[in-house]
C-alpha cells in the first residue's frame, strides 16, 4: 500500500500536464492505434493542456488580485476562510485512504462499464483527489476507516454517473467533443443544481423566452459583441470595482481580452489530440462490446474554451462576494478559489445552452450553494486539515474551507452520517 501511495504522490508531483500525455499514449496503444499515432495524439493533448493552464493561470492571477480588491472594498469579515482547492488535494494525497480508495475506484469503474451501468472510463486520475477528500471528511467525522472508503466508492459512482447523464448536454453546447465526459467532482455535482434552475425558469411565462448570448449580442452591436472586446470591457469594470489605479485596470482589461482570444485556440490544439483517442475508443467499443458506448472521462478544464464560460467566470466574482455579505447562514469568505470560478460555472453555461441570461441566474444560485455548503463542511474540513497539513492553514484562522469543498456532495455525505448517528 505504501508503494501505491508513493507512486500516486509521484504522479501528483509530475502534474496532469505530464502524466496525461503519457496516459493518453498508453491508452492509444491499448485500443489499437499505431505507436506514432498514439504518441502524436498524447503529445498534442499534452501541448494543448499545458497551453490551457498557462492561459488559465495567467487569467486567474489577474482575477485573484481583482477579487481581493473587491473583497477589501466590501469589508468582508467572516469566520471561515476559503483556503483553496490545494488544501483538499494535500489532505487526499497524504491520507491512508488513498491506496485502497484509488485501486477500488479504478476496479469499480471497469466492472460497472462491463455490466453496462457506466459508460465513462475516468482516466483523469490526477483529479481523483476530490473523491478521496470526501472520504477523508467522512473518516474524520465518523472515525471509521471503512466508512471513509465507502464514501469514496459512493462518490466515485455518483460523479461518473453524473458525467454520463450530462455528457450529451455538453456535446450539444459544443463544450467538449463527443465521446468524452467530465466526471470532475467539484463541478459536475453542481450540474443538477444548474439544470434545476433552468427547469424553474422554463415555468415562468415571458422570462423563459429571454435569451442573451455572445452570438446574439454580436448581431446587435457588432464589434462590441466580439469576445475580445467584451473581455476588455468586463476587465475595466472589474478593475474599477476592485479600486485599481489606471495601469492596473488596463492590465486586467488586456489580460481578460487576451484570454478570450487565446483560450479557444489552445483548446483547439487540445481537441486535436483528444479526438483521435475518442474516435478509436468508440471503434473498439463497437467491435468488442457489441455497439456499447465507452466515453473518456476528462478534466473539466477542457470545457472552458467557450467565451461564454470565460465571461461568466468574470461576472460571477462580484456577485459571489456580495452574496457572501448578505446570504443568511454564510460564514465563508470567498478567497483562494475565486480565481477558479471559470471552472465552477462551466455547467451553468452548458445547462443553459449558452443562454447567458439563464447562465447568470444559475451561476448566482450555484454561488450561494458553494458558500453555504462550504460553510457547512468547514468544521470537519478544518479538523482534517489540522491533522494533514496544518502549515497550509492561514495564521489566525478559526476555520478553513473552500469553494471546491462547497460542492453539494460533501455536504450530503456528512448530512447522511449525522442523520444515522455515525459521528465519532
pLDDT in tens, 232-250: 888 888 888 888 888 998 9
Which tops the pLDDT comparison, 395 or 286?
Answer: 395
Query: Which segments of 173-245 does DSSP mark as H helices, in order?
Result: 185-188, 191-202, 214-221, 227-241
| Residue 40: CB atoms within 10 Å | 17
Residue 17 pLDDT class (50, 70, 90 cuts) = confident
Most confident of 7-16, 41-50, 192-201: 192-201
- Among residues 377, 421, 365, which one has the least CA distance to residue 402? 377
- Among residues 395, 388, 393, 307, which one has the least CA distance to residue 129? 388
Most confident of 99-103, 258-262, 370-374: 370-374
Domain that holds residue 215: 76-265+296-419
User: Does residue 280 form part of some domain?
Assistant: no
Which tops the pLDDT comparison, 133 or 73?
Answer: 133
The total of structural domains in the chain comes to 1
Give the whole-angstrom CA distance, residue 276 versus residue 270. Answer: 11
User: Does residue 172 form part of some domain?
Assistant: yes
Among 67-71, 107-111, 304-308, 369-373, name the one with the lowest average pLDDT: 67-71
Please compute the mean of the pLDDT values over residues 382-391 and round it to a whole number: 90
What pLDDT is attached to residue 34? Answer: 86
The residues that bridge with 80 in the sheet, in sequence order, are: 332, 399
User: Does residue 130 form part of some domain?
Assistant: yes
User: Does residue 290 form part of some domain?
Assistant: no
Reply yes or no on whether the pLDDT at 70 is more than 80.
Answer: no
CA–CA–CA angle 270, 251, 265 (5° rounding):
15
Please compute the mean of the pLDDT values over residues 298-317 and round it to a whole number: 86
Please compute the mean of the pLDDT values over residues 61-90 and round it to a whole number: 80
Average pLDDT over the chain reads 86
Among 64-78, 109-123, 155-169, name the one with the lowest average pLDDT: 64-78
User: Does residue 229 form part of some domain?
Assistant: yes
What pLDDT is attached to residue 218? Answer: 62
User: Does residue 361 form part of some domain?
Assistant: yes
Name the pTM for this structure: 0.85
What are the DSSP calls for 337-391, one per residue?
GGGGHHHHTHHHHHHTTT-HHHHHHHHHHHHHHHHHHHHHTHHHHHHHHHHH-GG
DSSP 394: P
Amino acid at each position: 500500500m505504501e508503494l501505491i501511495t508513493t507512486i500516486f504522490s509521484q504522479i501528483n508531483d509530475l502534474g496532469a500536464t505530464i502524466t496525461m500525455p503519457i496516459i493518453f499514449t498508453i491508452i492509444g496503444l491499448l485500443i489499437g492505434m499505431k505507436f506514432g499515432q498514439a504518441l502524436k495524439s498524447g503529445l498534442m493533448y499534452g501541448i494543448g493542456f499545458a497551453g490551457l493552464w498557462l492561459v488559465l493561470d495567467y487569467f486567474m492571477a489577474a482575477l485573484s488580485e481583482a477579487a481581493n480588491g473587491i473583497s477589501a472594498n466590501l469589508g468582508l469579515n467572516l469566520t471561515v476562510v476559503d483556503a483553496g482547492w490545494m488544501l483538499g488535494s494535500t489532505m487526499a494525497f497524504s491520507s491512508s485512504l488513498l491506496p485502497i480508495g484509488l485501486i477500488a475506484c479504478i476496479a469499480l469503474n471497469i466492472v460497472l462499464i462491463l455490466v453496462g451501468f457506466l459508460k465513462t472510463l475516468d482516466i483523469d486520475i490526477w483529479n481523483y483527489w476530490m473523491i478521496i477528500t470526501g472520504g477523508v471528511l467522512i473518516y474524520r467525522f465518523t472515525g471509521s476507516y471503512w466508512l471513509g472508503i465507502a464514501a469514496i466508492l459512493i462518490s466515485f459512482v455518483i460523479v461518473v454517473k453524473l458525467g454520463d447523464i450530462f455528457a450529451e448536454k455538453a456535446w450539444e453546447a459544443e463544450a467538449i467533443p463527443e465521446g468524452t465526459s467530465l466526471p470532475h467532482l467539484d463541478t459536475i455535482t453542481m450540474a443538477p443544481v444548474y439544470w434545476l434552475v433552468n427547469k424553474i425558469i422554463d415555468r415562468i411565462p415571458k422570462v423563459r423566452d429571454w435569451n442573451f448570448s455572445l452570438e446574439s449580442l454580436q448581431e446587435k452591436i457588432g464589434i462590441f459583441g466580439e469576445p475580445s472586446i467584451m473581455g476588455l470591457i468586463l476587465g475595466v469594470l472589474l478593475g474599477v470595482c476592485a479600486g485599481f489605479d489606471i495601469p492596473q485596470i488596463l492590465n486586467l482589461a488586456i489580460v481578460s481580452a487576451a484570454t478570450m482570444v487565446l483560450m479557444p485556440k489552445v483548446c483547439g490544439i487540445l481537441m486535436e489530440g483528444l479526438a483521435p483517442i475518442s474516435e478509436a475508443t468508440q471503434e473498439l467499443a463497437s467491435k468488442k462490446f457489441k455497439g456499447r458506448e465507452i466515453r473518456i472521462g476528462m478534466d473539466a478544464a477542457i470545457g472552458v474554451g467557450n467565451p461564454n464560460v470565460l465571461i461568466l467566470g468574470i461576472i460571477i466574482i462580484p456577485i459571489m462576494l456580495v452574496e457572501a455579505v448578505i446570504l443568511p447562514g454564510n460564514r465563508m469568505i470567498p478567497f483562494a478559489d475565486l480565481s477558479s470560478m471559470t471552472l465552477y460555472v462551466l455547467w451553468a453555461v452548458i445547462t443553459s445552452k449558452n443562454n447567458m441570461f439563464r447562465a447568470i441566474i444559475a451561476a448566482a444560485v450555484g454561488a450561494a450553494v458553494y458558500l453555504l455548503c462550504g460553510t457547512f463542511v468547514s468544521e470537519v474540513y478544518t479538523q482534517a486539515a489540522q491533522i494533514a497539513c496544518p502549515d497550509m492553514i492561514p495564521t489566525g484562522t478559526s476555520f478553513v474551507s473552500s469553494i471546491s469543498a462547497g460542492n453539494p456532495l460533501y455536504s450530503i455525505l456528512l448530512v447522511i452520517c449525522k442523520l444515522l448517528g455515525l459521528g465519532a
